[in-house]
Amino acid sequence: MSTPTPPTAKPFAATVLGAPRIGPDRELKRAIEGYWAGRISAEGLAGTAADLRRRSWQELAAAGLDSIPVNTFSYYDQVLDTAVMLDALPDRVAGIDDPLDRYFAAARGNAEVTPLEMTKWFDTNYHYLVPEIAPTTQFRLRPEKVLAEIAQARGTGIDPRPVVVGPITFLALAKAVDGGPEPLSRIDDVVSCYFELIDRLVDAGVEWVQFDEPALVTDIADGLPELAADVYGRLSAVTRRPAILVATYFGDPGAALGALARTAVEAIAVDLIEGSVEAVAAVPELANKLVVAGVVDGRNIWRTDLDAALATLGSLLGSAGDLAVSTSCSTLHVPYSLAPEAGLDDNLRGWLAFAAEKYTEVATLASALRNGRESQAAAFDASRAALATRATDPRLADAGVRTRLAACTDADITRTAAATRLAQQQEHLNLPPLPTTTIGSYPQTSAIRLARAALRSGDIDDAEYVRRMHAEIADVVALQERIGLDVLVHGEPERNDMVQYFAEQLDGFFATANGWVQSYGTRCVRPPILYGDVARPAPMTVDWITFAQSLTTKPVKGMLTGPVTILAWSFVRNDQPLADSANQIALAIRDETVDLEKAGVAIIQVDEPALRELLPLRNADKSAYLDWAVKAFRLSTSGVADTTQVHTHLCYSEFGEVIGAIAALDADVTSIEAARSHMEVLDDLNQVGFANGVGPGVYDIHSPRVPGAEEIRDSLTSALKAVDAQRLWVNPDCGLKTRNTDEVTESLTNMVAAAQAARTALG
């Protein structure tokens, strides 16, 4: 195949695949929310956005990168932006004239229209909007956004490399609606738009374009390598086009790497944190490509071992035609900069690199690759010195934790047979059939938020904070008694976040001051950093739960977050297997369950809403993950007596590949979402032989709508066809913290009435 390399495209040496966009102080969040609230005009919002883009490009250029990604900015999500670029928004928003309002309606809905579905971006904690492909979907190129950002970059003196989600990933992540075809069957129509796009990019003077194809590191569809060969074969056969970089990330592209290398694209980005050098060496066709080597971790916060990264780059020199240094993926997934983190001790600071620090690492490595390590001696020395302290810091190897874990056996993850346990628990708890309960949190009122802020600012002391939280707990307990629920909760008022709350109390975790990352849209999270061995210096929840229990004769559930979820929503250690970190956290949670039990708590819920999130992208890796995840959960819950009832909660109903693992958790009671139908969810569980208690959510807490008692009763009737009354629990589908007290009171009152009616019917 001839290689129609555009004459103007020069290889580059140092880049990143993308950058954060929320602003170092979440300026974009505030501007967008201000626009939604009518406080900020469209022009005001556009001004903030333009300013943030300019600052980001200038920062990348100043760090020494010689190719700058643009169009990685977004008002909400890059997949939604791609749907807009392909004119493929759903018909239901087509009537909204203003493009920005149409965009936000697709993103988050409004009084008339439901938004696109949102789901996780591969195995990250970023969420994208799922494009809908209907029978009527017509694709048409709408390049205004990318062209505008290119023009702005040029105006700023930046030579832009536009980044666009590639056609395969776009369709692989889309879903068919209204009986539409399987999305990937529309690939030719979409590729037509990309032909037009590359033509327009040449008009705009663009030398390089980056197409993001992370779908190529997954098994989400069959035949992806062949599709990559076909799509990029055709796109690269065009003679009037920019040079093309196809970016794979989040894993090893496998056969897709060779397939891409056999097309005429100029460059391929490979993730060398998740993927391997051997995979690159195995593809001889890379000898005439620019390999963009992702040796700086784009999604975790650890400082790069520069010697090791340089060695990796060196070993690629023989395989690649040319080599550029890059992050493994966009730095969208890490905080902006270490600069605001005043609370770090020197060792910990030395081990970390947020986005800004990573840009410097990339530039340092690129320079060392060209001019020798000596040219960057100071940076290499600093990297070595920091790593040396990480290797010897006692917090990373707690002998007590390690000895204890090494001594764990199957007995520590095994409880008595479930039926025996349930009989003993029932004797102890004496619950009616169809017991009613909730998932844990109650509305996070403004009083709660004010108290937390006042404690942080020093306006109130700990004693006053506890007094205010006790008042909240007392209210929630009284409310539940009035409503007539059978198993009560304390309402979780003291928890800002179900992971951070525990991370703040466990050794081995550090909570950042300003380490915000985008979760979705304007929603940002501040994941804790797991840097050391985990231990629990003191009980974390016992006082709150026992206080609640002291107010009622009904049982109050203890509420904990499980080890897999704590890991999934943190930045994790990269110096030991995830399973080891999971087990350490599990021991800490186990100690908490034992202390709760000692304090007289008879029911303990260990939430694992993230169990499915950590599922590996490749089918071959899934069973090993589920094996350690299940074991970690069981380690955390098997320390209690048979009479103690263990609950768990999972936030989804499409179990798919994790159904067997859910059963294997062996919780006494599992509450789950049941968005589809109760029967289906329960049938799925029955099919894998699950015979423990189950609480399929009887109403959707994500909506303000109050369900009627009749409708809940109907759900229960259908659930009772799949599960007998002894096993069926009655609860909403998730925590209530986002709802208001009126909605919660009405909904739960109806829920209890429905349960009572169903009991009466049972006789």
Active site residues: 702
698 sits near Zn ion (criterion: CB under 5 A): no
Q: Which does 125 bind (CB under 5 to 8 A by kind): Zn ion, ligand GLN, none?
A: none
CA 515 → CA 411, 512, 524, 546, 570, distances in Å?
Answer: 40, 5, 10, 34, 11
Token pair belonging to 488: 């009560």
Query: Near Zn ion by CB under 5 A, which window of 78-86, 520-528, 571-579, 648-656?
Result: 648-656
Residue whose CB is less far from ligand GLN, 569 or 690: 569
Residue whose CB is less far from Zn ion, 651 or 720: 651
Q: Which does 319 bind (CB under 5 to 8 A by kind): Zn ion, ligand GLN, none?
A: none
Other C-beta atoms lying within 10 Å of the C-beta of residue 218: 21
Token pair belonging to 634: 């069981």
Shortest distance, CB of residue 661 to ligand GLN, whole angstroms? 17
Other C-beta atoms lying within 10 Å of the C-beta of residue 58: 14
Q: Which does 533 bind (CB under 5 to 8 A by kind): ligand GLN, Zn ion, none?
A: none
Give the nearest residue (CB) to ligand GLN.
735
Contact 166, 246 (CB under 8 A): yes
B/e letters for 299-311, b = 16+ CB within 10 Å, e = fewer, are: bbbbbbbbeebbe
Query: Near Zn ion by CB under 5 A, which window of 232-240, 270-278, 590-598, 650-658?
Result: 650-658
Residue whose CB is less far from Zn ion, 168 or 651: 651
Residue whose CB is less far from Zn ion, 258 or 732: 732
Give the Cα separation of 277 and 290 in Å (integer). Answer: 15
Applying CB under 5 A, which of residues 651, 736, 752, 758 lies at the interface with Zn ion?
Answer: 651
Residue whose CB is less far from ligand GLN, 31 or 560: 560
Q: Which residues contact 607 (CB under 8 A, 6 or more apart)?
A: 439, 440, 498, 559, 560, 561, 562, 565, 648, 649
Query: Near Zn ion by CB under 5 A, which window of 59-67, 367-375, 591-599, 729-737?
Result: 729-737
Other C-beta atoms lying within 10 Å of the C-beta of residue 313: 22
Helix, coil or strand: residue 542: helix
Q: Which does 365 bind (CB under 5 to 8 A by kind): ligand GLN, Zn ion, none?
A: none
Other C-beta atoms lying within 10 Å of the C-beta of residue 416: 11
Give the Cα separation of 228 and 397 in Å (integer). Answer: 45
Q: Which residues contact 450 (CB under 8 A, 6 or more apart)?
A: none
Shortest distance, CB of residue 440 to Zn ion, whole angstroms? 9
Give the Cα separation of 186 and 180 in Å (integer). Answer: 10
Token pair belonging to 206: 């663009």
In the chain, % helix, strand, coil (3-state, to 5) comes to: 45, 15, 40
Q: Which residues contact 486 (CB under 8 A, 6 or more apart)?
A: 431, 432, 435, 436, 437, 554, 555
Residue whose CB is less far from ligand GLN, 78 or 671: 671
Q: Which does 559 bind (CB under 5 to 8 A by kind): Zn ion, ligand GLN, none?
A: ligand GLN
Q: Which does 607 bind (CB under 5 to 8 A by kind): Zn ion, ligand GLN, none?
A: ligand GLN
545 sits near Zn ion (criterion: CB under 5 A): no
What 8-state DSSP symbol labels residue 436? B
Residue whose CB is less far from ligand GLN, 79 or 672: 672
Q: Which does 440 bind (CB under 5 to 8 A by kind): Zn ion, ligand GLN, none?
A: ligand GLN
Token pair belonging to 507: 């050794």
Q: Which does 739 bind (CB under 5 to 8 A by kind): ligand GLN, Zn ion, none?
A: none
Shortest distance, CB of residue 610 to ligand GLN, whole angstroms? 8
Q: Which does 720 bind (CB under 5 to 8 A by kind): Zn ion, ligand GLN, none?
A: none
Amino acid identity of residue 230, one-letter, is D
Q: Which does 441 bind (CB under 5 to 8 A by kind): ligand GLN, Zn ion, none?
A: ligand GLN
What 8-state DSSP symbol labels residue 114? P
Residue whose CB is less far from ligand GLN, 492 or 533: 492
Residue whose CB is less far from ligand GLN, 131 or 609: 609
Residue whose CB is less far from ligand GLN, 74 or 570: 570
Shortest distance, CB of residue 502 to Zn ion, whole angstroms? 16
Give the Cα separation of 682 and 694 in Å (integer). Answer: 8
Shortest distance, CB of residue 697 to Zn ion, whole angstroms? 8
Shortest distance, CB of residue 73 to ligand GLN, whole angstroms? 30
Residue ranges in 560-619 that form contacts with Zn ion under rule CB under 5 A: 609
Shortest distance, CB of residue 666 to ligand GLN, whole angstroms? 19
Q: List 132's β-bridge partners, or say none.
A: 175
Q: Which residues contact 113 (CB under 8 A, 6 or more apart)?
A: 92, 93, 105
> At CA 335, angle to CA 71 and CA 454, rounded to 5?
125
Give the DSSP letter string of 662-718: HHHT--SEEEE--SS-HHHHHHHHHHTT--SEEEE-SS-TTS-PPPPHHHHHHHHHH
Contact 600, 559 (CB under 8 A): no
Residue whose CB is less far from ligand GLN, 631 or 739: 739
Shortest distance, CB of residue 549 to ligand GLN, whole angstroms? 17
Shortest distance, CB of residue 561 to ligand GLN, whole angstroms? 8
Shortest distance, CB of residue 358 to Zn ion, whole angstroms? 33
Give the Cα separation of 447 and 461 in Å (integer). Answer: 16
Give the Cα separation of 620 and 29 in Å (integer). Answer: 39
Shortest distance, CB of residue 730 to ligand GLN, whole angstroms? 16
Applying CB under 5 A, which of residues 413, 529, 734, 752 lies at the interface with Zn ion?
Answer: 734
Q: List 646's β-bridge partners, or say none.
A: 604
Q: Which residues contact 248 (CB under 8 A, 6 or more apart)?
A: 213, 214, 216, 217, 256, 257, 260, 268, 269, 270, 271, 275
Give the Cα separation of 163 and 292 in Å (integer). Answer: 14
Shortest distance, CB of residue 393 to ligand GLN, whole angstroms? 33
The β-bridge relationship of strands 523-525 and 517-520 is: antiparallel
Give the Cα separation of 386 and 512 in Å (integer). Answer: 19
Residue whose CB is less far from ligand GLN, 27 or 654: 654
With CB under 5 A, what is the number of residues at the site for Zn ion? 3
Contact 678, 715 (CB under 8 A): yes
Contact 336, 355 (CB under 8 A): yes
Token pair belonging to 650: 């999972």
Contact footprint for ligand GLN (CB under 6 A): 439-441, 492, 498, 559, 607, 609, 649, 651, 734-735, 737
Binding residues for Zn ion (CB under 5 A): 609, 651, 734
